[in-house]
Structure 1
Amino acid sequence: MRFDHTTLPNGLTVLAESNPAAATAALGFFVKTGSRDESPEASGVSHFLEHMMFKGTGRRTTAQVNRQFDEIGADYNAATTEETTVYYASVLSEHLPKLIDLMADIMQPALREEDFSTEKSVILEEIALYEDQPRFRVYDTLMSLYFGSHPLGNVILGTPRTIAAMTTGQMMEYFRRRYSPSNIVLAAAGKVDFAWLSESAHRLCGHWSGQQTAPRVAQVPAGASGRQILHDARLAREHVGFMSPAPSAQDDDRFAAQVLSAIVGDDTGSMLYYDLVETAMVDEISLGHAAMDGAGVFMTFLSADPRKAKAAVEATGNTIRRFMHDGPTDSQLTAARNKIATGITLKGELPMGRLADIAGDWVYRNDYMPLEDQIARLLAVDCDDVRQVAARYDPASAAMLALGPLENL
């Protein structure tokens, strides 16, 4: 493996982890913008713009974009989060020249009014679809409850009102402001020659311009606590979410937080799994760690029969408090570290898996961490590290939101 990076004169970062033994290559544009960076009146513009990037350019129609991805056998997609918007694809390495030409082109979208109007209807249908999925409703509402007026509480999809009222002018202004080359990372992994990648980036992206991207709101307030019950008689199950502070993406404690999450709340083989799923108290339960820019949260989700929901909430708190009192055992620590290390290694065997990691490291920390170093940092976590993270962040003191047929919990 070899890592290289450079910055073009216009500010675009180009980086690659090259593996000559690979048969495929993965390529992605990682834009450091998401719902966290939106104004209230433009809520949902990041995700809406992600859709519009595939709707044609000055050189290609929508049909040509889709057909050319298919012609080279690309496995491609895009995703929007609170903090990033990512466009990515993997191909056989011989198709990289066509792939980078296509992907660089869609990063300069036409934003045609007729496409905008059609896609607006698609987004509104997507919002309605997610409204029918309790897990997403709990997540969105809990984020808003926990982060309050901070932009991390913004809903990624936006609302029917903001999407219906959105104009191409708003989207173009957002694109110029947030899609500046200095706010984008072009990353590649697998069988890729960095000299070729750098030359291609100069040729295809070197002319890009844009406004200087303003610094993100760095100050993240302490998350809210308390409980909120959302009554929905249409639902057959009670869906409950908990949220509490956790290490950020820049915090070295993120490794210990991963281990803590696996011990307490992995969806199989964890304390919560044995205490609540194996005893038929809940259908499912998990506790995970989400590391963000300057912030982080532990998130717990469960689904239960309404008749068992109150007992499930109490049992969840009891399990977390027992862990905080007793700490992890050596066997729990070993099992959790090995489970995470296995997952990281399996993911890292594919260029697409490494693409996400190397780009994420650069977006959040301006750093490169080889796979073996990532695993070594994880395996170095000991019981004291996990205890200290639990004591520092206290996952037992969490905000709670319940959605379902119960009016009280």
Structure 2
Amino acid sequence: MPADLAYDDPSSDVLLDPATGVRRSILPGGVRLLTQRDRSVRSATIGLWLPVGSRDETPAHAGSTHVLEHLLFKGTRRRSAMDIAAAFDEVGGDSNAVTAKEHTLYYGRVRSSDLPMAVDVLTDMITASVLAEDALATEREVILEELAMAEDDPGDIGYETFLADVLGPDTPIGRPVGGTAGSVEALTIEDVRDHFAEHYRPDNLVVTAVGDLDHEELAGMLQAGLRRGGWELAADAVPERRPRAAHPGPASAGLLTAPADVASLTPHRLSRPTEQNHIYLGGHGLTALSEDRHALSVLMSILGGGMSSRLFQNIREERGLAYSVYSFSAGYRDAGLFGMYAACRPGRTTQVVELLAEELSRMGEQGIDELELARAKGQITGSFALGLEDTSSRMGRLGTIELVHGRYTSVDETLARIGAVGIGDVSALASRLASSFSTRVEVGPDS
């Protein structure tokens, strides 16, 4: 059966990739399970994904997804917080969670013989957490310290401010994932429980696992764990699905002409007692589903993806104007951004900003050469291949495929798409982005 059909048939149980053993099933309750069996390792990594993130919150409940993620580690009807922590520690395993803008992930990495324990603990957490008011009171203070720590880091606060300015500080996707100190302090336990009840359900759950495991055995363990926690797994339930993104390219609002106007772009300044000025410059980019996303990866590699990149060579190696300089991008269902970062002494800020903008503009106007293209493709494909040596990376890839793309893409197909990117693709995209500058953020000392 072609891989695409696995996503159209809700009753599917399909071997998506015979070459690598990737399999996908829809379990009772609408739970989606994707696995990759690897007998060359003695471990397994499992992730439980919920397609709910900070962008799904109301303004009044900003930060509730992140708070809920923390509280799920604070005890269930069968386990204390210490029981949850000790379960992984005593077998030398690892467990943690991530809250993002469009998903929440709970994961564990253990020896394959300890996988039943990991499944039991993680399913217990997402189905039967107590969500006690006293736990919220304590964990709220921990989260406020986490937010304060980010405020103390010029890189963290600069990036969050840049992201909010590009995507819109008053939009769900533009708000900080962790909320603000004010919104976290205002959250009640009823708010958190309502959030849990709305989103934590079988038809919203995706489970991905890679390692020395058996698909059928894992499916059985999952169903047993979810039922033990009180979830009803209806045989005829189908997965909940979100609409696919509809905007494949960079947004067009508020465009500037680069590089001439960039130096005069009013910066959003955040005063901090630092020795350097931390600069973020960029604008709207590509969505996660854009057909140009592979060209963007190549572009970012050439522009600022390593020690041989243009920004590193021009700004650091040739001119000595910065120690840290790079480019970056982020894509979501219906939005995206691109940017460049550099940290320098305040007196060099204007020159560095102009050089950042000029380098991207030059890529659009003059193009790139074959050597740069080959080097970038080698960096991307090599890094991609090395990442797949790790079961955690492969687990994460399966989750992204299911939640973001809705279509399985083999490693060979991904590598082929990167290999198909041409000089013209990169130059055309560079030209588009170079005329999309809209945001400049600086974190540093008062002048």
Short-chain TM bin: over 0.9
58, 73, 83: which is aligned to 2:102? 83
CA distance in 2, matches of 1:133, 1:73: 31
Give the 3 Å change call, closer, same or farther, for CA 255–395 of structure 1 in structure 2. farther
What residue number does 2:400 align with? 360
- The one-letter amino acid of 2:316's match is V
Equivalent of 1:208 in 191, 208, 231: 231
Q: Distance in 2 between matches of 1:95 and 1:357?
A: 22
Does the CA-based 8 Å contact 1:246-1:257 persist in structure 2? Answer: no
Q: 1:198 aligns with which of 219, 222, 226?
A: 219
Contact 1:263-1:270 within 8 A present in 2 as well: yes
TM-score computed with the length of structure 1 as normaliser: 0.93
For 1:56, the equivalent position in structure 2 comes to 75
Unaligned runs of 5+ in 2: 1-19, 234-238, 256-264
- Which residue type is aligned with residue 283 of structure 1? Y
1:205 Cα deviation after fit: 2.1
Kindly tell me: are residues 187 and 265 of structure 1, through their superposed partners in 2, closer, same or farther at Cα, counting changes over 3 Å? same
SS at match of 1:244: strand
Counterpart check, 1:268 vs 2:326: no
1:111 lines up with 2:134 in the alignment: no
Q: What is the CA RMSD across the aligned residues, in angstroms?
A: 2.2
Moved more, 225-234 or 71-80: 225-234
Is 1:136 the counterpart of 2:175 in the alignment? no
Say which of 102, 119, 138 aligns to 1:100: 119
- Matched residues in 1 for 2:241 and 2:57: separation? 12
Q: Does 1:379 align with 2:419?
A: yes
Tell whether the 8 Å contact from 1:267 to 1:284 is kept in structure 2 after alignment.
no
* Alpha-carbon shift at residue 209 of structure 1 (Å): 5.8
Residue correspondence of structure 1 range 298-317 to structure 2 within 5 A: 298-317=338-357
Deviation, structure 1 residue 314: 0.7
Partner residue, 1:25? 44
Q: Which runs of no fewer than 5 residues in structure 1 stay unpaired?
A: none
TM-score normalized by the length of structure 2? 0.86
Q: Deviation per CA, 1:243-268: give whole Å up to 9, x if none.
A: 32222111221111101000001142
The percentage of counterpart residues that share the same residue type is 28
Shift of 1:310: 1.1
Q: 2:360, 2:434 within 8 Å by CA — same for their partners in 1?
A: no
SS at match of 1:107: helix
CA contact (8 A) 1:244 1:395 kept: no
The AA in structure 1 aligned to 2:340 is T
1:230-309 residue pairs with structure 2 within 5 A? 230-278=269-317, 279-309=319-349
* Other-structure match for 2:189: 168
The structural deviation recorded for 1:311 is 0.7
- Post-superposition CA distance 1:104-123 (Å, at most 9, x none): 11112211111111000101
Please state how far the C-alpha of 1:49 moved relative to its aligned partner: 1.2
Equivalent of residue 73 in structure 1, options 81, 92, 100: 92
Preserved contact between residue 55 and residue 115 of structure 1 (Cα < 8 Å): yes
The Cα of 1:395 is off from its aligned counterpart by 6.2
Which stretch shifts more, 216-225 or 393-402? 216-225
Q: Which whole-Å CA distance do the structure 2 matches of 1:362 and 1:222 have between them?
A: 29
What is the CA-CA distance between 1:294 and the residue it aligns to?
2.1
Which residue of the other structure, out of 112, 119, 123, is the alignment partner of 2:143?
A: 123
Given the superposition, is the C-alpha separation of residues 124 and 26 from structure 1 closer, same or farther in structure 2, using an over 3 Å criterion? same
1:218-260 C-alpha deviation (Å, 9 max, x unpaired): 6787565653332415122111112322221112211111010
* Structure-1 separation of matches of 2:407 and 2:242: 19
Question: Which residue of the partner structure matches residue 6 of structure 1?
Answer: 25
Q: State the 1:398 CA deviation.
A: 3.8
How far, CA to CA, are the matches of 1:182 and 1:224 in structure 2?
40
CA distance in 1, matches of 2:215, 2:435: 43
For 2:231, give the aligned amino acid.
W
Structure 2 CA distance for partners of 1:227 and 1:146, relative to 1, 3 Å: farther
| Cα 1:222–1:104 shift into 2, 3 Å | farther
Answering whether residue 198 of structure 2 is matched by residue 177 of structure 1, we say yes
CA distance in 2, matches of 1:229, 1:341: 36
Say if 1:182 and 1:331 are closer, same or farther in 2 by CA, change over 3 A.
same
- Structure 1's consecutive aligned runs of 4 or more residues displaced over 3 angstroms after TM superposition are 212-227, 391-396
**Could you tell me how far 1:215 is from its partner in structure 2?**
5.1
Q: Which amino acid aligns with 1:82?
A: K
Displacement of 1:217 after TM fit? 10
Letter in 2 for 1:228: P
CA 1:156–1:127: 2 relative to 1, 3 Å: same
Equivalent-residue separation in structure 2 for 1:332 and 1:46 (angstroms): 42
What is the aligned residue count?
407
Give the residue type in structure 1 aligned to 2:222. A
CA separation of 1:72/1:234 partners in 2, compared to 1, >3 Å: closer, same or farther?
Answer: same
Match of 1:16 in 2: 35
Gap change, CA 1:190 and 1:40, over 3 Å in 2: same
Letter in 2 for 1:36: R
Structure 1 residues 340, 240: CA separation in 2 closer, same or farther (over 3 Å shift)?
same
Shift of 1:385: 2.1
1:397 aligns with 2:437: yes
The answer to whether the aligner puts 1:152 opposite 2:191 as a matched pair is no
